[in-house]
Amino acid sequence: MTASIPQLPLRDELFLLGHDDDTGHPHVHRRTLALGMAGAVLIDLFLAGRVTLDPNETTRPASTPQLRLRIDRPVGDLIADTALASIRYAHPTGAGVKPWLRDFADDLYERTRAGLLAAGILHHHTRRRLAGLIRADTYLPTDTKWTVVPRARLRYLAAGREPPNDRTAALAGLVAVLGLTPHLYLDEDTTALTAHLTAIADQHYRPVRDITAAVDAVVGDLATAAYR
């Protein structure tokens, strides 16, 4: 089913899973989704061998990992290459993961959507209401395959029908921390499914777990700030 479908970056898959297929409305706050997508960009770069995470030896060694470039060459993806550049020009000792996520997420939602539009994966609809006084813009997938495929990978993963590869395990961890498991449309208890996907993600690379934990932390900070 997936052989003829190009592999999308994790951030694109997360963007698509983060929206209702029929209405285009986001399932979570846009800023929350953008923070998750920033984490997805980092995970893709780590899995491609372009970045690494090292402990910050000047503070608490295990708790504040720093981003560092491992291979300083363009990937050929505009957003990924922008991420590499932002790490390259960070503080000489590296960039803290949580501050980097906050900064990079600023316009990532709009940049990702624009890229999906340019690639023909999303298309733009404009609707007018109240006699044309209110304009509503929606962005919907051009084909159901773009959301069916990542959902199917997570479904097979949850059911134990496929071994957890690195990308799908990482996607599972991000979906869990962003609260998107109810929107996978799996006939399972959401709490149990979230715990199961988290457990699978926790079996993989430590840096991927650290990035996912940082996403969880900055999303938590965002929620806390909203109630202050």
Domain ranges of the chain: 10-219
Q: Measuring CA to CA, how many Å separate 115 from each of 12, 53, 168?
A: 9, 27, 22
Fold of 10-219: yeast vps74-n-term truncation variant fold (1.10.3630)
Q: Alpha-carbon distance 125 to 188, whole Å?
A: 33
Contact present, 173 and 214 (Cβ < 8 Å) = no
More confident residue, 201 or 3: 201
> What is the separation of C-alpha 207 from the centre of its chain, rounded to a whole number of angstroms?
15
Q: Residue 116: is it exposed, middle or buried by C-beta count within 10 angstroms (0-12/13-18/19+)?
A: buried
Pair 46, 32: CB distance under 8 Å: no
Query: pLDDT tens digit string along 45-74?
Result: 999 999 999 865 554 445 578 898 999 889
What letter represents residue 100's amino acid?
Answer: W
Reduced to 3 states, what is the DSSP secondary structure of residue 9? coil
Interacting residues of 168 by C-beta distance below 8 A, sequence separation 6+: 153, 154, 157, 162
Residues 124-154: tens digit of each pLDDT: 988 766 656 677 789 999 999 999 999 999 9
**Mean of the per-residue pLDDT values of the chain:** 88
pLDDT at 141: 96
Q: What is the Cα–Cα distance from 121 to 204, expressed in whole angstroms?
A: 30
Give Cβ neighbours of residue 10 (< 8 Å, ≥ 6 apart). 40, 41, 43, 44, 167, 170, 171, 174
Token output for 89: 């020009």
At residue 60, the pLDDT reads 46
pTM for this one? Answer: 0.89
Q: Which of 46, 40, 47, 36 is nearest to 69 (CA)?
A: 46
77-128: per-residue pLDDT in tens?
999 999 999 998 876 556 789 999 999 999 999 999 999 999 999 999 887 6
